[in-house]
Amino acid sequence: MTTVDIAEKLRDQGIRLTPQRLAIAEVVINSADHPTVRDIYSRVRDFFPYLTVATVYSTLSVLERAGLVAQLPFQKESRYDSNNTLHVNLVCTKCESIVDCDAGDNYLEKIKDRIQDSGLFQNKYQRFDIYGLCENCLKLS
Distance separating alpha carbons of residues 115 and 112, to the nearest angstrom = 5
Which CATH code of 3.40.50.720, 1.10.10.10, 3.30.565.10, 1.10.540.10 fits the domain covering 3-81? 1.10.10.10
What are the domain boundaries of the chain? Answer: 3-81, 88-140
pTM: 0.81
**Please, what sign has the CA dihedral across residues 22, 37, 78, 134?**
positive
pLDDT recorded at residue 41: 97
Q: Work out the widest C-alpha separation in the chain, in whole angstroms.
A: 52
Q: Note the pLDDT tens digit of each residue in 53-87.
A: 999 999 999 999 888 899 999 888 999 999 888 88
For residue 128, the 8-state DSSP code is E
Distance separating alpha carbons of residues 104 and 10, to the nearest angstrom = 30
pLDDT recorded at residue 105: 66
Q: Which CATH superfamily is domain 88-140 in?
A: Ferric-uptake regulator, C-terminal dimerisarion domain (3.30.1490.190)
| Positions of the chain with pLDDT under 50 | none
